[in-house]
Structure 1
Amino acid sequence: MKREAPSKTAKLAAEGRRATKLLRGKTVAVVRRHRAGEILIEFTDHSRIFVDGEGELEISIAGTDDDE
């Protein structure tokens, strides 16, 4: 029996779950913008996430007012 390849949606969902697992419990130290199409998030343990895209990237932060 031939196995079907996972759909793009399933692959993206799996990637999101892996990222969530790797990032759980980390604390953001700094967010940097070197270029309009790049975002760098550095954590207190010195691990980093780079987001790089074509065109300008916008940072949108949603949440509650609990931090005020």
Structure 2
Amino acid sequence: MAWSNFLMTAAVIGGLFYMTKSDVRQGASMFRRNVKTIRSWIEQGEQSVKPTKPKEIPRDVGARQPPKDKKDA
């Protein structure tokens, strides 16, 4: 009885290993494809973004204007 339980357990474990081996291979290949796709998206995004210089603000912007005389108005 113990011998038949051992053989049944070994057969079940072997069958599960055999069935999941292809799933693991497919999952690994799918993961590699996804990584390649994401990497290409990142590279395309980096190429589309061009470095730009910050806009220069003229020095006179924001400077206080002298008050106008009431005589000129």
Please identify which structure carries the higher helix content: 2
- TMscore range, shorter length: under 0.3
**What is the TM-score with the length of structure 2 in the denominator?**
0.26
Higher CA-based Rg: 2
**What is the TM-score with the length of structure 1 in the denominator?**
0.27
Please identify which structure carries the higher strand content: 1
